[in-house]
Structure formats: structure tokens, C-alpha cells
Structure 1
Amino acid sequence: MSTQTKSTQTKKKVSKPFSVKKMLILLWGLFLAGIIGIFILFWATSKGWIWEMPDVQALENPDIYVSSEIYSSDGVLLDRFETEKRIPITYADLPEHFVNALLAREDIRFKSHSGIDARSTMRAITSGGESGGASTITQQLAKQLFTVNRSQNKIQRGLQKLKEWVVAVELEKRYTKEEILTMYLNKFDFVYNANGVELASKVYFNTTTKDLTLEESAMLVAMLKNPVLYNPIRFPDKAKKERNVVINQMVKYNFLTKEEAEAAKAKPIKIDKQEINTISESYSAYYKHELRREIQSYLKELEKETGKKYNLYKDGLKIYVTLDSRMQKIAEEAVAKHLSSIQKTFFAEHKNNSKAPFYGLSEDKRQRIFERSMRNTDTYRHLKNIGKSDEEILAEFNRKRDSVKIFTWDGVKYQKNMSLMDSIKYHKHILQAGMMSMDPRDGTIKAWVGGINWDYFKYDHVKQARRQVGSTFKPFVYVTALNQLNYTPCNTISNDVFQIGNWKPRNANRKYGGSQDLRTAMAFSTNVVTARLIAQTGVEPVIQIAKELGVESNIPKDYTIALGSADLTVYEMVGAMSTFANGGIYIKPELVVKIEDKTGRVIKDYKPVTREVVNEYVAYSMIDLMKGVTDRGTGKWVRTKYGINSEVASKTGTTNDNSDGWFIGITPNLITGVWVGNEDRFAHFASTARGQGAATALPIWAYYMQGVYKNGKAFGVTTEDKFIKPDDIDEKWDCSSLTGFHTYGSMGGTFDYDYTNAVEYQDPIQSANSNASSETEDIDFNQ
């Protein structure tokens, strides 16, 4: 045996075995090191050193509760600015069987742990996740609020889980168990736009959370595991099986007896699917669109001035608007009542029209309009983004489908055997409307109906859309004449044929000769009289006074503006005309009363923008002229057909081919403007009797005012209200010396039509020295 071998054996003999004591010390050391390591890791995570953590403010104001709220002038919560559409509920709204199902399925020890269930966590770790997950309801809420995107990397996922633990513990410190459970259900996305349990109850069962049955509650709880895989609409068999698992869990934890469970499991899943648009307010979206734009602009200015930054969707602002919820509802109902009626007439008129819904277009131009609309759709943009050619996209739009959703006044309908292009053609038939009502005394807007349904037609016809205004522009010409030339309603103007350059406007009844006083000319919307007035005043003074009256849109420098060829908004027209009822003082229409931050501090207060445009005599003279429209002229249906006998000054308006119908109605304490037309100007009624402003827009105003007057004292608007008349105005008018020969008796009834130069989608204004004419059919208003 070698010396080296002996040495090795000797060493083996003298080595001592590893003692049990050392083993225990090592194990305890490792355990304590692990505990300390976890504590340090947990602490470092809470400080945001390992992973960005939400700050205390975010934890105390989770997104679900920090949406900005919109309150009407009568104290009603109208809507919210929120990142997601949802209707939050309180714990009191939850049925007991829903809470029991949730605890049995998701977190039976929810009421006893502090955000982390140690027993479930150890079970999940030792089984490698095979025996189920360990996330508590609080952890799931933390994940929903602050760790939405689940990482596929195991290390990253581990850190996310650690973050969830930290956030869960912090949430438990700040909220009660009931608040946490309610937040979780309010936040959960049940798909199909069902954000939160209240919308889920509506979308899937057409009910409310508090009215959910045991079976419905179990179904929604089952969806919490996977709202797509266990969706009762997409996968009813899997959904029912998972629902029954939830019911079995309720038996396991003694929330149900076996008999109750078997009875519940035997029941089928009855789905009553509701579209999300049946829940949202389609009308309110129009004023909300404008309100958001105004507030965002103001908040940017505030940030520049003070450095304070506000988020409209996350800072819990309270926005108090001028709208009256009751008047808004009356306005919406007035629009729906009239448009739903004349829409049937419009469809009937175009039933046998091969170019429907257009007149005077080539087939090529008609198809180009449809294809332009196609390119404005989300479907087109999606197909374009994935590389489809225009030919492929057009073929896809022309493909017949089993079911296509369309708008009707009877509610959403699904049309069989219809293509997307057919849907575009169908919706081109739909009549649109814009309506705004305001108090001329302080500029507060009381009602705003920008369209008929935001889900289908996302274009506001109050402040966004500019349409030809027709004869509603004539008051701008008249007020310029009164203000500049010192005319009164008694002045007479020749009604003979008139021409300036190559522009030769014509009267609707083709009757000329003699003279008319301004009252008669305004009442019957006589075109040659208005044309002579603008020739006397000049075009630029008319434009200037329109600008002073609040018109910001471009008005071309052309004589034809006198008859309404300019494109203006309902918002501008209502604001301008309100000046006449306000003694000549223009006041800018306003939607916002004030804005408060979440602490109640006012960050914006309403300060009216005002300016004097004309004196009180000129203002009342315009009221006097426009009262004639209502009492004996083109707006007399206000009296004869709708029975409104209060003081009303008004103006009707219609543009070439009946593309636009207008009515502006002024009462001492309320002014309301209405526009009606189609999305495309080529789509219109063929007959002026059907398409003029008195037939399309005036009835909406009348229905609205009938509703307002029924509860007028509450709105500060009654049939006894009178316009303020200056004491000595009769002397200033001195009509006895100014009233000349006029031909009221030969006017041939009442009529209203406008002669503008609308040509397709081009600028309707042409030079007075061009060959443009302003002619329409000779239609009697009374037919």
C-alpha cells in the first residue's frame, strides 16, 4: 500500500460526521434568510424599487370612481366622462345569493384574510398550481386596476404577482371588504361592452343586478373565471357546466341545500341579449362631444396659467351644465315624434326612385357618394390596414350577410340578406336634425339635440355641421338696413323685378310689382325685396353685423347671401337671433355653469360674453318684423296647426331642392332653432310642400314648445310672457308717413322658399357678375 493511500485513509478516519444540530441550524438559517429575503423583496416592491407602483392617490381613487360627472341645471346626473362605459353599483345592490356564489367560487376566506390567503398560497406553491389558484378577490381587483397586462415571462409574472400582493394589502388598508368586493364587480369586463356587473346584468339578462336570480348570479360568477370561454352567448354548453360548478361550490360551503342546488342546475340559461346602445343615451352624446371639447380646451389654458394639470377622465371633476334635463327630454321627444313620422313619407317617396335617395345625380356620382361613405367606416380602415386592396374591400362590402344592424325609429333591427353597402345606402335615406334652445336673457343653453342617434350618426348638427341657412339669413339683411339706413318696419321697398349684374332673384309666386312694407316682405319672405335691401346696404356691412351677432363661419362676399346661400350652424343662428329678444345685446350661448375639482373647489365659473350690437329700438323692430312671420306669414302654422298663441317671433328657411329646412322661433324667454335635412344634400324631398322648413323643422319646434308650456312656470317660460317694447318706439316708427303702396292683398297666400346657388358639394356662392341664377319651383306654401 502506497504512502498516499494510507494518508487518505487516515483522513477519512479522523473526519467527523455532519451533526443533526448543524443541519437544523443550516435549515433554520436558510428559512430565516428566505423570510428576510421575501420581506426585503416585499418592502422593496412596495417602495417601487423593483416595479413601478401606484401612488397613494391612485390607490385611494381607483379609475372606476374618478370619472367626471355632468350635472344638469335641475340637479340631475346626466352623464359621466369615463375611460369605460359602466354603471357602478353599491354593495346594497348585490343579492345575497350573488355574494355567496362569489365567495364560494372565488375566495371563501375573503372576509378573514388581509388581501393574501396564506393557506391557498401555500397550497398553490406545493402543488405547482395543480390544485387551483391562490388569488384572492382583493388580488384580482389589484390586477384589474394596476397590473392589467399579464406577462408570459415566469420571472416577470412572479414580480407581477408580488406587486399584486403589495397592492392587495394596501387596498385592504383603505377599503372595507364590501367596498373591495363591489369595486371588483364594477370593474370586471364581462365582454360585449358589459363593463361591470350592472351592464352585464342588462346585456345578458335584460335586468338589473339587484334583480338577478340565483341561476343568473351563478352564471355571471362563473364568467369571472374566463368571460370568453364561459360566455353563455358564445359557448352555452360550457357556460352552463361552469355555472353548475359554482352552484356545487355553494352547496360545499353550505350556502345552498342539495335540493336547492339540483333545482337550480336543472334550469336552462335564458339569455335576453341587449345591445349596449340600448343602455347608453344616444342623444346626450352630441352635447357631450361638444362639452368635452370645450372643457379640454379650458383645462389646457388653466394648465398654462397655473401649472395645475387636470385629467377629465381621472380627476373626478363635477361639471355643472346649463342644460335642463326636463327640457332636454322634451326636445328629444319632439325630434323623434316628427322625424319618425316624415321618415315614413321619405321612404315612400323614394320607393320607386332608381337613384334613391338622391335626385338629379348620375349613377356614377351616386356610387361615388356611397363609396366615399364606405371609406369613412371602421371596417374599411381595418381591411385596409391588413393589406386588402380596394377591389377586395368593395367585394367584401357588397357581400350579402345573414344579419346587418340598421337604425330604425322603432329600435335596433337586424336585416337579413343585406350587404354592408346596402346598409350605407339605407342610412343615406335617414333624415337628420339639429336643435338648440337657449334663454336669450343669460345665454344658458337649455336643450341640445345634435342628431338622432350617436351610435349610427356621429356628427353633431348643432355646432359641428354647417348647412345652407336659406331665408333664415334674411333677418341679418333687415337688421343691417334698420341699423344703417334708419329704416323701420313701415318702410316700403319696390317689389318689381330686380337684377344686379347677372344675378336675378325671383319670387316664389313669380308675382311682381308695387311695393311692400318691410313687415309684409319679412312675413312672406319676399326675395326681390331682400335683394334690394342688400344692394342698398352693401354686402360687407351685412357680413359685419352677422359677425357681431356671433357668426364665426365664413360668409362669402356675395349678394346671394341675402337669400341664404351661406353655410352656418344652428348654434350660430340661435345665438345671433337671441340678440333681438335681448334688447340688442348679444350674449354667447353657454353650456357650462361651473366646474369643480374633487374637493369641491371651483376651477371654472360661468362669465357671460356679451356685447351691444344694435340699440333696443332696432332690436324690437326685428322682433316686430319676425312676429309677422308667425302671425300671418310663412310660420303661421305655429298658430293655425299647433295652436300656440303666445308671443312668437320666427323665421322659416328652405334651400334649393329642399335640401335644408329651418325654423327659428323666438319667445321672450326662450329661443329655439331647428334644422332638418339629409346627410347628403342631394337626398331630399321632391316636393317643397313636404321639404320646406315649415313642414320639416317648424313642427319639431312646435312640439317642443307645447311640452315646455305644459310646465312653463318651472322653466320660467309661460304663454303670458311679453317682449319688452320701448315706450316711445311707435313715435320713432311714425308709420303713418312711411307706409306706401303695397300689394299684400295680391300676395296669393303664404309661402316661403329660398333662392341660393347650391351646386352639389361645391361652394354655393358665385359672383354676382356670373351667370348664376337663383330659381326654384313655383310652389304655394298652402298646398
Structure 2
Amino acid sequence: MSTQNKNTQKTKKPSKTFSIKRMLFILWGLFIAGILGVFLLFWGTSHGILGEMPDVQALENPDIYVSSEIYSSDGVLLDRFETEKRIPVTYKDLPQYLVDALLAREDIRFEEHSGIDPRSTLRAITSGGGSGGASTITQQLAKQLFTVNSSTNTFERGIQKLKEWVVAVELEKRYTKEEIIVMYLNKFDFVYNANGIELASKVYFNTTTSKLTLEESAMLIAMLKNPVAFNPIRNPNDAKHERDVVLNQMVKYNFLTKEEATNAKAKPIKIDKQEINTISESYSAYYKHELRREIQEYFKNLEKETGKKYNLYKDGLKIYVTLDSRMQKMAEDAVAKHLKTIQKTFFAEHKNNKKAPFYGLSEEKRQRIFQRAMKNTHVYKHWKNLGKSEEEILAEFKKPKDSVKIFTWDGVEYRKNMSLMDSIQYHKHILQAGMMSMDPKDGTIKAWVGGINWDYFKYDHVKQARRQVGSVFKPFVYVTAINQMNYTPCNTVSNAPFSIGNWKPRNANGKYGGSQDLRTALAWSTNVVTARLIAQTGVEPVIQIAKELGVESKIPKDYTIALGSADLTVYEMVGAMSTFANGGIYIKPELIVRIEDKTGRVIKDYRPETREVVNEYVAYAMIDLMQGVTNKGTGRWVRTKYGINSEVASKTGTTNDNSDGWFIGITPNLVTGVWVGCEDRFAHFQSTGRGQGAATALPIWAYYMQGVYKNGKEFGVTTADKFEKPKDLDEKWDCSSLTGFHSYGSMGGTFDYDYSDAVEYVDPLQGVNSNANSGNDTINFNQ
């Protein structure tokens, strides 16, 4: 062996092939790891590891289409429960110009990708966003529907973008391209209450989506970039520039010729702005307010019992209500017809009243009422949240404005040089009304008018407001006496002056003496007779029977309740009086027939709540007494002025200082109650002639019933309807003959009474009606 072989050891060089393989292995490993990482990132995002994601049900039912619908008993779509007011359109309603402009401006490769555009995404990443955004139409829809990107943190924005991608891909799996386009345009908020393309077409151009021109289409698509910055109302110059950019894009992608675009760009933007209310009808909001409360309470209890959750705004429910759309319209028209007239009288009466619209108040208390109303406004709360002091806010409210929006019966009016405090004082003059009509046989409510305009007065006067009831409470005293002491309409009671303790009730005209039978006393609303009756029965039995008749409001344990010192609701009074027309069986008034889920499965079905309160003889005795009110008493205008000759039992009511006017009208198949007054009880007519229930509330009932009777067969309410009288009534009542039932002389002798003085009267008792009805007046201002 040579010395060289022994002493020299050659070092082996690494193989080039081995090095290349190793590098390829690492590269493939990194690539696969990257792919796996991306997969795991998407998988984790879709499964909520990086935050909550919409479930499959939410993806398949975006909230554009899942508002719950309210249907009337005659099959009319009355309204919807929706998070935002919008009118969805279908793809066939979209003009081709609109679709072309959308693709040219927002996503030209929309038909080619599956929710994410790789080319646009790569371009945006490599340019750092300098060459434009990468969001596809589907991603923008995903962001609108399910994700919110409001964070300034880069990491959080990245997470939101991942969520947006995942949702976009899921949307592409479930919807066609056409469906995605129409969902996007239906969902977009164009501001000014223009939610979706249809309302945007109405708000900005007073047209429909299907009739949009090329220029109008380009303008609305331009707004997608930023509906405020490129708003044609707020920033017309910037809006026109962006509209022309859209038109240029349409030329670039061959949707338009250069000549067409040039002609379009030469045209100015013509705006025809329309106001869109946030609610479909000012009247409907009142019953809708109560309907929502009832449904949500029911769902709350259902969840406790079954664990099943329902969302009124996202589950696409069908709500079938008892309201009849035709009768509802008649009720609304009746309220408007009468209040429009007496409102003018009210304004005229207070024109020279320095304390208007109040009587008998100090200036200090008057200002306190106005300032309390001020604190209920959104404007006040907004300034308070900004840290303004009371003095600064009050100064702002007293500062004249260029334009203040006020309510009038002739429509919206804008007053110049009026302060917000002036507006509060003005709205304190406005007469309000509450009206409910129901079928006494099954408890279904046919009409519900809770107020005159929800946009201005967000307070329901059917079930939410409790007002002093005056003489409409008297039937509770009479039915207690008849039920407890076996009285008949023919029993007589002294009309001599009467007192119990410190209470000395007085008759309206100051006339006393002789006796009156119950029929006569209720017809003329004689206070002394009613007071004697409650003294005989006791206060608690009267309260108890009122409770059994459905009154849930607190009734004071005081003899003064006989003349109506309690504060009750229209809902309670109508339900109670319906018992008399139903043979003594109380049925709780009901708004809901049934609720179905989106598949048609019944969630809630109508089950009437009933109980027998008095027997049929006592019930008919009350009908007989209250027919006397209509035929000869304080409700006689039903006959003499409005010519309604059907069988009607009724009761009028007027409270202290004419603050509240009431009328309850009972027919065999329809019972209707009406209340009229101002939000504050200190605001009222000065004279009883104008402020009594017969003058303020009865006419509304009469107008309504005239409309109902005109189409009576459709509603099952006709002038031929008769109250059902027990067959053996003659034997049960201790009266000489049936002819005596409609005799208005006293059995103990005749009593000369002047009907012209037969008006309601409630004694000015200490403590009664001492506080204004605060908290009821929510007034919105547009500055």
C-alpha cells in the first residue's frame, strides 16, 4: 500500500441530487403546510373558533326576507315586524342598466369566481390596497348580512376579513348569482330611510326600480362606494363625478358605447326627494305595539317551558290577527273625521287664553309641564348625553329654528321661526283618541285605534293609557246592585240630597227630589242615585265585580268610584261592557288568532279566556238600562243627530273639568268604546257642552257604526240584530208588564226632568285628577 493511500483520506463531496431533493422536500412541505394551514384557518373560522359565525339557518334565511307578517281576519297583509322598513324586489325587477353598472363598478369577474376573486385579492395584497379593493359582490353581501368590520386593530380586521370570505363561499353554495345580486341590492342602506334598491328609487327619484333610467341606475350604483360621501342630496357635485366614473367603467367593459356614456354624463342629476316613514301606517303602530308585547311575552314563556326560541324579526312568522282591515279603516276614518273638526274648535277656544292649553294653572306649573315634556324628547336625551347642562338645553329649546316639523290634520307642516319649546306647547293642544271595537260573542277585536299619529305621539290610548272614566263606571255599580240585591230596572231609589261621611255628591243640574227607577237614573246619569246604590252594596263588591269583568287596573277603595274617579283603559271598559251583550259571560278581548312558523306549523292558537260573571237575567237587565241611555238619556244623539235606529245600549262619560270624554256603544254583535282628551289632563274644553263625552266621543262611535252598518252583512253586524232576551224574563222581574221596561217615569210617581240639562258630572273631589298624565307625550322633532 502506498504512502499516499495510507496517509491521504479523501473527503466525500455531498451529492447534488441529494441537495435538490432535500430542497424540494422542504418546499413541498412548506407548500402543503401552507395549504393545510389555510384549510385549518378556514375550517376553524367556519366553526367559530375565531368568533361567532352565522349558522346554516341564518345563511338560508337572511333577514331581508324573514320579517314576520301580520294578516287581518279578512286576509289582508296589514304590516310586518322587520328590523328595517324595506320593499324587496326580484331579479326580474332590475333593469339591465342597473346590473351592468353593478358588475362594471364592483365585480367584473362576478360570474367567474365562487365568492372570492383570487386575482383581485392578489392584486390588493401586492399593492397594499393601492390598486383598489378586492371585495366581490358576494363578500360585500356577506359583510352586510353577517359581519361587521368596525375595528381599527389590524389583527381584528384580518379576522373579520376571513369571516367575510368564509361566509361569501357559503353564500355561493346556496344561492345563484342572480339571487346574490338581488339580495345585495335589497339589503344595501342608501340612507334617508332608503333601505334597499326599491326604497332608494322612491326616495331619490320618486320611481320604482324597474323604471330606473341609465343615469339613475349609475347614480345609485355609485352610492354603493359610500352612500354619504356620494349622496346626490348632500353632495351633488361629488355624486355626479362618481356617477360618471361608473358610466366610464361601463364603457371600459363594453356595456355602453362612448356615445351613450357621453350623452348620459351630459345630463344633470335630477332628484325628486320623497319622505319614507319608518312605519307603514301611523295608526297601525299602536296595535302593533301591543301585538309585539303579547307575542314576545308568549315566546318568553314558551322558551321557559320547551326551550324553543323564536325571533319575531328573523323567523319569518305568519301572524293572523282578529282585526278586520275594512273595519280598522272605518275606525281610523271616524277618529280623523271628528277630531279634525273639534280640534279647530279647541284651538279657537284657547286662542286668547294666556295659560293655553290649560285652565286653572299657575305659570310655574304650566312651565313645569312643558319642561317635563321636553325631557321626554329624543333631542333632549341626545344633548344630555353630549354633556350639555339643563340651562344650555333649555336655551336650545327656546331658540327659534328655520324649520320645525309639527302635526296637523291636513298633513305634515314645517313652521319657520318656531322654537322646539313652542312646538311642545303647540302639541299639548292636540286632542287624542283611543278606540277599540270587538265581537262580544267570541272576544275578537275588530278595530284598534290607539292614537292619532305614532310619529308624533308614541303612546297607546287603548291599553296603555289609563284615564279617569267618569260615568261609564256607573254600570259597575248598577250591575252589583241588581246582582246582589235582586233589583230590576223598575226598582226605585230616592233622588233626595245625600251624603256619606264627608262626601256629598251633586247632580249635574242641581235638581233633587222624588224617586227614580234604575232605568231613569242611569239614562240621565243621576249622581245621587248612583251614590245611594254604592252605599247599599258597599265599595268592595263593586270593585270585585269590576275585576271579574276584566278590569285589572287598581281601583281605589272609596265611594267616589261610583261617579268614575278610577283610571281605567279603553281595553278594560270594552271587555267589561261586552259581558252584558254576551249573556253575563266575560270573554277576554283578543288580538291574535294564531301564529305559524315559516313551514306553516301552528305555534300559538286562539283559546278564549272566559268566565261567567252574572247570569243572563242580570246581563239583560244591564242591556235594558243602557238602552235607556240611548233612547232617552245622555246618549240620545245616537238617534236624534246620527239617525242610528238599531238596538243600541250605551253609556256616556265626562270627567272633572271635561278632561276626558267617553262613549261605550253596545250592539248585539259589536261593542265599541271611545275615549277623547288631551295628553295632559289640565288641557281641556272649558264648557261641558263642548267637552262632554256625548260631544267628543259619541260622534266617533256614530261615524264608525254608520260605516259598519252600510256594509253590515259582510261583518255580521246589521241594524236588524236584536239583543237576546231570556224567555222567562217576565217571571224573573217584578214589573207589571213588558211595556214598563221602556217607560221612563218613576214607578213611585212622575218626576219632571229637563233633558237639556242631562249631561255628565263628576264632583271635584279632593285628590282626584290632581296630576297631569305625565310620561305619555313623546314628541319627535326634525330640526
Which residue of structure 2 aligns with residue 491 of structure 1? 491
Matched letter for residue 271 of structure 2: I
Output aligned runs, 1:252-331, within 5 Å.
252-277=252-277, 280-331=280-331
Which residue of structure 2 aligns with residue 747 of structure 1? 754
Which residue of structure 2 aligns with residue 81 of structure 1? 81
Q: How far apart, in 2, do the equivalents of 1:29 and 1:485 lie?
A: 99
Which residue of structure 2 aligns with residue 672 of structure 1? 672
1:543 aligned onto 2:523: no
Which residue of structure 2 aligns with residue 6 of structure 1? none
1:250 aligned onto 2:250: yes
Bigger mean CA deviation after superposition, 306-315 or 138-147: 306-315
Is the contact made by 1:520 and 1:744 (CA closer than 8 Å) also made in structure 2? no
Which residue of structure 2 aligns with residue 446 of structure 1? 446
Q: How far apart, in 1, do the equivalents of 2:484 and 2:768 lie?
A: 34
Which residue of structure 1 aligns with residue 437 of structure 2? 437
Is the contact made by 1:98 and 1:217 (CA closer than 8 Å) also made in structure 2? yes
Residues 501-543 of structure 1: CA distance to partner in whole angstroms, max 9, x if unpaired?
2222222222222222222211121111211211222211111
Q: How far apart, in 1, do the equivalents of 2:770 and 2:418 lie?
A: 35
SS class of match (1:490): coil
Matched letter for residue 64 of structure 2: I
Which residue of structure 2 aligns with residue 226 of structure 1? 226
Once the two structures are TM-superposed, the CA of residue 30 in structure 1 deviates from its matched residue by: 5.5
Which residue of structure 2 aligns with residue 128 of structure 1? 128
Is the contact made by 2:514 and 2:751 (CA closer than 8 Å) also made in structure 1? no
Residues 128-184 of structure 1: CA distance to partner in whole angstroms, max 9, x if unpaired?
322221211110010111212333223322232222111111001111222211221
Which residue of structure 1 aligns with residue 764 of structure 2? 757
Once the two structures are TM-superposed, the CA of residue 575 in structure 1 deviates from its matched residue by: 0.2
Bigger mean CA deviation after superposition, 541-550 or 87-96: 87-96
Which residue of structure 1 aligns with residue 199 of structure 2? 199
Q: How far apart, in 2, do the equivalents of 1:322 and 1:570 lie?
A: 17
Q: How far apart, in 2, do the equivalents of 1:100 and 1:641 lie?
A: 65
Which residue of structure 2 aligns with residue 646 of structure 1? 646
Query: CA separation of 1:640/1:218 partners in 2, compared to 1, >3 Å: closer, same or farther?
Result: farther
Which residue of structure 2 aligns with residue 685 of structure 1? 685
Once the two structures are TM-superposed, the CA of residue 14 in structure 1 deviates from its matched residue by: 12
Q: How far apart, in 1, do the equivalents of 2:288 and 2:270 lie?
A: 35
Once the two structures are TM-superposed, the CA of residue 757 in structure 1 deviates from its matched residue by: 3.4
Is the contact made by 2:190 and 2:223 (CA closer than 8 Å) also made in structure 1? yes
Q: How far apart, in 1, do the equivalents of 2:299 and 2:696 lie?
A: 39
1:174 aligned onto 2:174: yes
Query: CA separation of 1:49/1:749 partners in 2, compared to 1, >3 Å: closer, same or farther?
Result: closer
Query: CA separation of 1:595/1:242 partners in 2, compared to 1, >3 Å: closer, same or farther?
Result: same
Once the two structures are TM-superposed, the CA of residue 758 in structure 1 deviates from its matched residue by: 6.0
Residues 37-58 of structure 1: CA distance to partner in whole angstroms, max 9, x if unpaired?
4334333323333343222122
Query: CA separation of 1:528/1:386 partners in 2, compared to 1, >3 Å: closer, same or farther?
Result: same
SS class of match (1:303): helix
Query: CA separation of 1:678/1:25 partners in 2, compared to 1, >3 Å: closer, same or farther?
Result: same
Q: How far apart, in 2, do the equivalents of 1:318 and 1:201 lie?
A: 28
Which residue of structure 1 aligns with residue 6 of structure 2? none
Which residue of structure 2 aligns with residue 423 of structure 1? 423
Q: How far apart, in 1, do the equivalents of 2:597 and 2:673 lie?
A: 33
Which residue of structure 1 aligns with residue 780 of structure 2? none
SS class of match (1:290): helix
Residues 557-591 of structure 1: CA distance to partner in whole angstroms, max 9, x if unpaired?
11111111110000000000000000000010111
TM-score by length of 1: 0.91
Once the two structures are TM-superposed, the CA of residue 34 in structure 1 deviates from its matched residue by: 4.1
Is the contact made by 2:506 and 2:763 (CA closer than 8 Å) also made in structure 1? no
Output aligned runs, 1:21-420, within 5 Å.
34-277=34-277, 280-420=280-420
Q: How far apart, in 2, do the equivalents of 1:113 and 1:68 lie?
A: 34
- The answer for unaligned runs of 5 or more in structure 1 is 1-10, 765-783
Residues 257-312 of structure 1: CA distance to partner in whole angstroms, max 9, x if unpaired?
33433333333323333333276211111111111111111112111211222222
Query: CA separation of 1:743/1:256 partners in 2, compared to 1, >3 Å: closer, same or farther?
Result: farther
Bigger mean CA deviation after superposition, 731-740 or 420-429: 731-740
Give the RMSD, CA atoms, in angstroms. Answer: 2.5
Residues 212-269 of structure 1: CA distance to partner in whole angstroms, max 9, x if unpaired?
3333222221111101111122111111221222223233333333343333333332
Bigger mean CA deviation after superposition, 387-396 or 79-88: 79-88
Is the contact made by 2:72 and 2:324 (CA closer than 8 Å) also made in structure 1? yes
Once the two structures are TM-superposed, the CA of residue 459 in structure 1 deviates from its matched residue by: 0.8
Query: CA separation of 1:16/1:203 partners in 2, compared to 1, >3 Å: closer, same or farther?
Result: same
Once the two structures are TM-superposed, the CA of residue 419 in structure 1 deviates from its matched residue by: 1.3
Q: How many pairs were matched up?
A: 754
Query: CA separation of 1:564/1:211 partners in 2, compared to 1, >3 Å: closer, same or farther?
Result: farther
TM-score by length of 2: 0.91
Q: How far apart, in 2, do the equivalents of 1:272 and 1:425 lie?
A: 33
Matched letter for residue 353 of structure 1: N
Which residue of structure 2 aligns with residue 728 of structure 1? 728
SS class of match (2:453): coil
SS class of match (1:652): strand
Matched letter for residue 430 of structure 1: I
Bigger mean CA deviation after superposition, 76-85 or 42-51: 42-51
Once the two structures are TM-superposed, the CA of residue 486 in structure 1 deviates from its matched residue by: 1.2
Is the contact made by 2:76 and 2:325 (CA closer than 8 Å) also made in structure 1? yes
Once the two structures are TM-superposed, the CA of residue 455 in structure 1 deviates from its matched residue by: 1.3
SS class of match (1:627): helix
Residues 652-678 of structure 1: CA distance to partner in whole angstroms, max 9, x if unpaired?
111111100001011111101000000
Q: How far apart, in 2, do the equivalents of 1:742 and 1:83 lie?
A: 67
Q: How far apart, in 2, do the equivalents of 1:332 and 1:690 lie?
A: 22
Is the contact made by 1:565 and 1:757 (CA closer than 8 Å) also made in structure 2? no
Query: CA separation of 1:525/1:213 partners in 2, compared to 1, >3 Å: closer, same or farther?
Result: farther
Matched letter for residue 667 of structure 2: T
Q: How far apart, in 2, do the equivalents of 1:581 and 1:80 lie?
A: 34
Once the two structures are TM-superposed, the CA of residue 97 in structure 1 deviates from its matched residue by: 2.3
Q: How far apart, in 2, do the equivalents of 1:259 and 1:509 lie?
A: 87
Which residue of structure 2 aligns with residue 718 of structure 1? 718
Query: CA separation of 1:244/1:49 partners in 2, compared to 1, >3 Å: closer, same or farther?
Result: same
Which residue of structure 1 aligns with residue 775 of structure 2? none
Q: How far apart, in 2, do the equivalents of 1:478 and 1:663 lie?
A: 17
Bigger mean CA deviation after superposition, 312-321 or 719-728: 312-321
Query: CA separation of 1:131/1:718 partners in 2, compared to 1, >3 Å: closer, same or farther?
Result: same
Residues 660-714 of structure 1: CA distance to partner in whole angstroms, max 9, x if unpaired?
0001011111101000000000101112121111111111111111121222222
Once the two structures are TM-superposed, the CA of residue 440 in structure 1 deviates from its matched residue by: 0.3
Q: How far apart, in 1, do the equivalents of 2:280 and 2:411 lie?
A: 13
Is the contact made by 2:89 and 2:186 (CA closer than 8 Å) also made in structure 1? yes
Matched letter for residue 349 of structure 1: E
Q: How far apart, in 2, do the equivalents of 1:696 and 1:748 lie?
A: 19
Q: How far apart, in 2, do the equivalents of 1:348 and 1:217 lie?
A: 51
SS class of match (1:238): helix
Query: CA separation of 1:101/1:279 partners in 2, compared to 1, >3 Å: closer, same or farther?
Result: farther
Matched letter for residue 561 of structure 1: I
Which residue of structure 1 aligns with residue 657 of structure 2? 657
Residues 49-100 of structure 1: CA distance to partner in whole angstroms, max 9, x if unpaired?
3343222122112222332222221222222222223232222332332222
Residues 727-769 of structure 1: CA distance to partner in whole angstroms, max 9, x if unpaired?
12134334338952354543343622121436688569xxxxx
Q: How far apart, in 1, do the equivalents of 2:673 and 2:197 lie?
A: 41
Is the contact made by 1:565 and 1:756 (CA closer than 8 Å) also made in structure 2? no
Once the two structures are TM-superposed, the CA of residue 28 in structure 1 deviates from its matched residue by: 6.9
Q: How far apart, in 2, do the equivalents of 1:50 and 1:568 lie?
A: 54
Q: How far apart, in 2, do the equivalents of 1:545 and 1:700 lie?
A: 29
Q: How far apart, in 2, do the equivalents of 1:254 and 1:711 lie?
A: 60
Matched letter for residue 533 of structure 1: L
Bigger mean CA deviation after superposition, 649-658 or 56-65: 56-65
Is the contact made by 2:193 and 2:278 (CA closer than 8 Å) also made in structure 1? no
Is the contact made by 1:664 and 1:672 (CA closer than 8 Å) also made in structure 2? yes
Bigger mean CA deviation after superposition, 183-192 or 42-51: 42-51
